[in-house]
Chain A
Amino acid sequence: MKTKNKKADLILKNEVPWLYSKNVKEHFFHPKNFMKPGEEKKFKFNAYGEAGSTVCGDLMKFWLWIDPKTEKIKKAKWRTFGCGSAIASTSVLSIIITEKGGLSIRKAALIKPQDIIKRLGGLPNIKIHCSVLGDEALKEAIENYYHNKK
């Protein structure tokens, strides 16, 4: 990242930085694809997974519609109990797995926390372990899909 070579201001007057990256801010304030109340009754899904616990302060749930022919994730819905970065990381993951016609579940199962963090434009180290659990919830959901298929 290029830093502008401007005079150092000891007192910030206008631009006070936000707590996390621009992308975290966007997804936190405008979360995409979350399961609205009552929507779970209407939403058609064939995979469900969750990760985390309320004791630790983060719990994530994923509902997926996987196309049985192509095994690509066509639709994803989620709910998250957690801090700003937890909400943003689940939201961004729902985009990653459904964009461009949907990710194959084989590829989706390989998603690592680092992939999510990269897409978020970085997270403070201390936040990584607790707020990026989406990949685990996703793996659970994919297992659940195979289980349901049997």
Chain B
Amino acid sequence: MKRIYLDHAATTPVRPEVKKIMDAFQNGYFGNPSAIYFEGRQAKAALDSARELIAKILGAETKEIIFTNGGTESINLALFGVSRQYKKLFKKPRLITSRIEHPAVLEAMRELAKEGFEIIYLPVDKFGLVRIKELKKSLNNQTVLVSVMYANNEIGTIQPITKIAKAIENFKNKQTLNPKSQILKFPLFHTDACQAAGSLEIQPQKLGVDLMSLNASKIYGPKASGLLYAKKGIELKPIIFGGGQENKLRSGTENVAGWIGLAKALELSQKEKIAEAKRLRTLRDYFIKNLLKIPKTFLNGHLQNRLANNINLTVLNIEGEALILQLDKYGISASTGSACHSKILQPSHVLMAIGLKPETIHGSLRLTLGHSTTKKEVDYALRIINKVVKKLRQISAVDIKNNENKK
């Protein structure tokens, strides 16, 4: 059966151009970049070229790019690296983040709380936007780091990163230099841009961020390949120790093929982002318009400030896992925020944060489009979704009315 993959926010297939360059490297290039003989220098040269290409795309310097094993590791390095490095400068060190971050951020924050950091979780409005007013209230002279995601993986809401950066900058300008730190003003600003690289502006300087996490597996690159951008002058405490690779920040023999793949994937996705986002937005809006014709459904997230490929719909009176399994039977891959779908049996923290009740979160359906998505696929998916929703509603023991769905 032909599969219709509508879960590009989970991961994307490796695109042919990326596969080609990775295959070419792996067919013969195996040297350890730390070695000084031919094979080592060959691998080192490839690694350097990947870093140069990425630096160029990001408008950054090569030494500001730290390659990692993916988005989660980049985020962990940013959060632990900054917090542990600069903790000593503060009496009551504070970290600020939002309630709708990826678990990589939230779980790292929980660990940092155990290390004595005060963590502030910023609320979001019903569309998933961070309230800048709340951020301003939370900033104090003990704040080490602010971490707010660029675009949300579940509901696709795009945060006003430049405005957040501006608010932090304004706060910093009123601060005097911490006497113990001769160079930096605090807080530093990190953004998790893993969902953003496919369609949005990602030059850290333009965004006004000090640190930024990216990965390849969301932009048609390989799994287990990511990077952290850290503005020069910022010192990080490593979280992995060993041979001192990546400027001593990320020990372990370099994943050269993976990082070449990341560089290529980033280059292509940034080059194509405007045209592809336009194409996807048209498909997405058509999809949403027709999905909302199904009775007792509503859209979650922001109408305008939304990733071009994201749809998050609540279908009342049915449960998400059952819906996903039914769709899967017809060849459609999608996702849900239902508790029954998660390993910890908790409903989506993102949908909770935007004010949905648990019983409506169970019926959430996330569809994320991508390169392979066509109008024909969307039409097929619409037909199947209508069919299986009807089927599951027939079996369902509940009948929540549309006007009872919000808190």
B322 close to A59 (CB less than 8 A): no
Given A54-B362, A57-B340, A81-B317: A87 touches B397 (CB 8 Å cut-off):
no
Given A55-B358, A84-B322: A79 touches B395 (CB 8 Å cut-off):
yes
B397 close to A79 (CB less than 8 A): yes
CB neighbours (8 Å) of B172 from chain A are none
From residue A123, how far is it (CB to closest CB) to chain B in Å? 12
Given A82-B340, A131-B340: A60 touches B397 (CB 8 Å cut-off):
yes
CA of A46 to CA of B340, assembled, Å: 32
B400 close to A54 (CB less than 8 A): yes
CA of A126 to CA of B343, assembled, Å: 8
B345 close to A126 (CB less than 8 A): yes
CA of A127 to CA of B339, assembled, Å: 11
| Inter-chain CB contacts under 8 Å: number | 72
| Interface membership of A86, Cβ < 8 A | yes
CA of A59 to CA of B325, assembled, Å: 19
From residue B278, how far is it (CB to closest CB) to chain A in Å? 35
| Interface membership of A149, Cβ < 8 A | no
A81 close to B318 (CB less than 8 A): yes
CB neighbours (8 Å) of B320 from chain A are 83
From residue B351, how far is it (CB to closest CB) to chain A in Å? 13
Given A28-B325, A57-B358: A83 touches B341 (CB 8 Å cut-off):
yes
Given A82-B322, A82-B340, A83-B319: A34 touches B394 (CB 8 Å cut-off):
yes
CB neighbours (8 Å) of B397 from chain A are 50, 59-61, 78-81
CB neighbours (8 Å) of A127 from chain B are 340
- Closest B residue to A36 using CB positions: B394
Contact of A57 among B317, B319, B325 (CB under 8 A): B319
> Number of contacting residues on B, CB 8 A?
26
CA of A19 to CA of B343, assembled, Å: 13
| Interface membership of B157, Cβ < 8 A | no
From residue A13, how far is it (CB to closest CB) to chain B in Å? 15
Most chain A C-beta atoms within 10 Å of own C-beta, residue among B322, B339, B343, B394 = B322
Chain B positions 317 through 330: 1 when the CB is less than 8 Å from some CB of chain A, otherwise 0: 11111100110010
From residue A106, how far is it (CB to closest CB) to chain B in Å? 26
From residue A50, how far is it (CB to closest CB) to chain B in Å? 7
B319 close to A81 (CB less than 8 A): yes
Given A54-B362, A84-B325, A130-B340: A79 touches B396 (CB 8 Å cut-off):
yes
CA of A125 to CA of B398, assembled, Å: 26
Most chain B C-beta atoms within 10 Å of own C-beta, residue among A83, A86, A126 = A83
| Interface membership of A113, Cβ < 8 A | no
From residue B228, how far is it (CB to closest CB) to chain A in Å? 31
> Number of contacting residues on A, CB 8 A?
29
Given A57-B319, A82-B340: A87 touches B359 (CB 8 Å cut-off):
no
Chain A positions 68 through 107: 1 when the CB is less than 8 Å from some CB of chain B, otherwise 0: 0000000000111111101100000000000000000000
CA of A60 to CA of B359, assembled, Å: 14
Most chain A C-beta atoms within 10 Å of own C-beta, residue among B319, B358, B394 = B319
B394 close to A83 (CB less than 8 A): no
Contact of A80 among B329, B343, B395 (CB under 8 A): B395
From residue B27, how far is it (CB to closest CB) to chain A in Å? 19
| Interface membership of A43, Cβ < 8 A | no
Chain B positions 336 through 361: 1 when the CB is less than 8 Å from some CB of chain A, otherwise 0: 00111101010100000000011100
| Interface membership of A17, Cβ < 8 A | no
A54 close to B359 (CB less than 8 A): yes
Chain A positions 22 through 43: 1 when the CB is less than 8 Å from some CB of chain B, otherwise 0: 0000001101001011000000
- Closest A residue to B397 using CB positions: A79
From residue A74, how far is it (CB to closest CB) to chain B in Å? 22
A37 close to B394 (CB less than 8 A): yes
- Closest A residue to B339 using CB positions: A57
CB neighbours (8 Å) of A58 from chain B are 319, 340
CA of A59 to CA of B399, assembled, Å: 11
CA of A47 to CA of B362, assembled, Å: 29
Knowing that A80-B395, A81-B318 are A-B contacts, what are 14 other residue pairs whose CB atoms are under 8 Å apart, sorted by A's residue number?
A: A19-B325, A29-B329, A34-B395, A56-B358, A58-B340, A59-B398, A79-B396, A79-B397, A81-B317, A83-B320, A83-B340, A87-B322, A126-B345, A127-B340
> What are 24 A-B pairs with beta-carbon distances under 8 A?
A28-B322, A29-B329, A37-B394, A54-B358, A55-B359, A56-B358, A57-B340, A57-B362, A58-B319, A58-B340, A59-B398, A60-B397, A61-B397, A81-B319, A81-B398, A82-B322, A83-B319, A83-B320, A83-B321, A83-B338, A83-B340, A87-B322, A126-B343, A126-B345
Q: Which 6 A-B pairs have the closest CB atoms?
A: A83-B340, A54-B359, A83-B321, A79-B397, A81-B398, A57-B362
